[in-house]
Structure 1
Amino acid sequence: MAVPERYRDIDFTPPEEAARAAEKGLDLCDRFDRGGTEAGLARARSLKKRQPLPPEAIGKMVAYFQRHEGDKIKGNFGDDEDPSEGYVAWLLRGGDAGRDWAEEVQDRMEKADAAAAS
């Protein structure tokens, strides 16, 4: 993965908590056959392995979480015995830990971009 020089001080490795959430999402998706798109499953596999993500993936994760924040108040979000599709999809992207991490990395990238432009 080629990371721009301006991002050299940013760790693109997902945290353990996001990896565990992604693993849980993969398990729930497999058990209940819901919530997993090809993109979500691919992201979950990368997160589970704690593989460094490319900078573009960070923006996609942040955008996903922003679009789907409302899923948290619908149906069976958080129910491991009968999970909603939204809950499974949220976990596949690292859950709340994945959201927090992606937002933090995006913030650091934006600061690096601003510094490089000045």
Structure 2
Amino acid sequence: MPDTFKPTEKIATNAKKGLKLRDDFGRGGTDVGVRRAEQLAAQDDVTTEDVKSMHSYFARHEVDKDGKTHEWGSDTDPSAGYIAWLLWGGDEGKEWADQHAEKLE
């Protein structure tokens, strides 16, 4: 099992979009989420601990999709949860982290 993993281009694109939306709308994500987005956007190597952290984040925040403030998936009025989700790599980041986390167990 490798010690590090390389995020995909789609994950990097999602993270960049999340950073832009956060900048444009002033909401979504924490400092930790912003640092994760910067890491993913640059396609920097992700450690096993990072993968586990991403897996845990997505498991905890799946419920954010049900939020009623602003809109999940909107580029014109995005919810804070949607922006944060993108910062962590979006749906592709979730699938990627889940697959790697499963192999690490």
Shared topology, TM-score over 0.5? yes
- Give yes or no for the alignment of 1:57 onto 2:77: no
Corresponding residue SS for 1:40:
helix
Which whole-Å deviations, capped at 9, do the CAs of 1:74-99 have from their partners, x for residues lacking one?
23111110111100000000000000
CA RMSD of aligned residues (A): 1.2
Match of 1:44 among 10, 24, 37: 37
Instruction: Quote how far apart the aligned CAs of 1:34 are.
Output: 0.4
TM-score normalized with structure 1 length: 0.83
Corresponding residue SS for 1:65:
helix
Give the whole-Å Cα distance in 2 for the aligned partners of 1:34 and 1:46. Answer: 19
User: Which residue in 2 is equivalent to 1:4?
Assistant: none
Amino acid at match of 2:30: T
User: Which residue in 2 is equivalent to 1:77?
Assistant: 72
Instruction: Quote how far apart the aligned CAs of 1:36 are.
Output: 2.4
Amino acid at match of 1:91: L
- Give yes or no for the alignment of 1:87 onto 2:85: no
Ranges in structure 1 where 5+ consecutive residues have no aligned partner: 1-6, 111-118
Aligned length: 103
User: Which residue in 2 is equivalent to 1:113?
Assistant: none
Amino acid at match of 2:85: W
User: Which residue in 2 is equivalent to 1:116?
Assistant: none
The runs of at least 4 consecutive aligned structure 1 residues that moved more than 6 Å come to none
Give the whole-Å Cα distance in 2 for the aligned partners of 1:100 and 1:15. Answer: 11
Give the whole-Å Cα distance in 1 for the aligned partners of 2:97 and 2:74. Answer: 24
Give the whole-Å Cα distance in 1 for the aligned partners of 2:96 and 2:88. Answer: 11
Match of 2:95 among 97, 100, 104: 100
Ranges in structure 2 where 5+ consecutive residues have no aligned partner: none
Amino acid at match of 2:91: D
Match of 1:33 among 9, 26, 48: 26
Amino acid at match of 1:27: K
Identity %: 45
